[in-house]
Amino acid sequence: MEEVLALTPELLPVLKEAGVVDSGGQGLVVIMKGGYDVLCGKEFSFTGESTPTVPASSERGPVNTENISTADIKFGYCTEFIILLEKEFGEQEERKFKAFLESIGDSIVCVADDEVVKVHVHTNHPGKAFEKGLEYGQLTKMKVDNMREEHNEKLFLEQEKAQAANGAAPAPAAEEPKPAEPRKPVGFIAVSIGEGINEIFNGLGVDYLIEGGQTMNPSTEDMLNAIDAVNADTIFVMPNNKNIILAADQAKAMTEDKNIVVIPSKTVPQGIAAIISYLPDKTVDENEAAMRDAMKNIKTGQVTYAVRDTKIDGKEIKMGDYMGLDDHTIQSVGTDLFETAVGLIDSMIDEDSELINIYYGEEADEASAQAIADAVTEKHTNVDVEIHNGGQPIYYYIASVE
């Protein structure tokens, strides 16, 4: 097996170009070698082998929740609603409405079609958002959550866990546990990466988020645990990574008491587009078709860095270079993060493009994302560009073009 693995670069030119062997094949060799060593009675050291270090800027210790204050939450109410349109809501009206929402809050998601507008905003004045929405039609599915209260509850749970870990008795519960909520018709599960993207999915009504990402793919067991936690007859699952779709499909096959619908989203922007297209008054089959169609309109790009020297698709890449990858290949490479990101997004835009969303990661910031947005709109005046705090690791920026 090792001899065949060594030949894989000769079997697949892209492997030879990158200077690597087939990763799946290498994984299979490791599994078989482990089994062989066990049969031979080999003793093992479970201390583990050293792994490549992550750049210092990405290293993190335990989160010190004691230093986090609710005062850091600028806008305290997560506000969601749907407008059942009764008057025209074209591009001009949509821009005005978004501008109003930006004047009273942040974390804005506003998506419109011919009949409805889905709205999500963090604000200190939910009533103002509702009143503005009423100018365009009737409101439904209205929900307001106090994020400061939720933050305090989260801190309380973290403190309980810390006390338990230190052998201390947990603090007394403030109130009796709430009874289980009644089973609902539909629920949603999504794989997410980063606090900002978590907030977006929560704002769109996702019931359960599975922590995922390029370096920590959830297992079938993780999927089954999530399915078990969502008390719904039908559950839509958005893997948001091509490597996780199989685990979701396996979890679906192993679930008997719930109808599991796997929407095969390969990226986070595809998952966001899919859940935005869901309409409560449609059937499960109609929504599945609409969610799959919505993903087809999404192009995704991601900006990261190279961990070693290589050559791919004719591009010379040095360790530490920034790389802009779209759904198919590497579109831009360079030593300047701004230019690499702009080059990637520019390559994804065509004459049909209308909206670009830029999610900046934990190693980027709002100002740098805004500079990229400004550069894109200056060159492509026919598209709208919105920026969001994604908080994702590894990728400085995730961009979607639709």
- Looking at the structure, tell me whether residues 278 and 304 fall in a common domain: no
Question: 65 in a domain, yes or no?
Answer: no
Which residues in the chain land under pLDDT 70?
14, 17-18, 45-73, 148, 150-180, 213-216
**pLDDT for res 192:** 93
**pLDDT for res 259:** 97
**pLDDT for res 245:** 93
Q: Please give the residue range of the domain that contains residue 361.
A: 299-401
- Looking at the structure, tell me whether residues 346 and 376 fall in a common domain: yes
Our count of domains for the chain comes to 4
- Looking at the structure, tell me whether residues 204 and 231 fall in a common domain: yes
Question: 157 in a domain, yes or no?
Answer: no
Go through the chain and tell me how many residues it has.
402
Question: 177 in a domain, yes or no?
Answer: no
Q: Which two tokens stand for residue 50?
A: 């050293």
- Looking at the structure, tell me whether residues 330 and 379 fall in a common domain: yes
- Alpha-carbon dihedral sign for residues 68, 72, 77, 78: negative
**pLDDT for res 156:** 62
Amino acid at 159: Q
- The CATH number linked to 215 is 3.40.50.510
Integer angstrom CA distances of residue 139 from 11, 94, 100, 134, 184 = 59, 16, 17, 7, 21
**pLDDT for res 284:** 95
Strands 116-123 and 77-85: antiparallel
Calpha distance 75→103 (Å, rounded):
12
**pLDDT for res 378:** 94
- Looking at the structure, tell me whether residues 219 and 190 fall in a common domain: yes
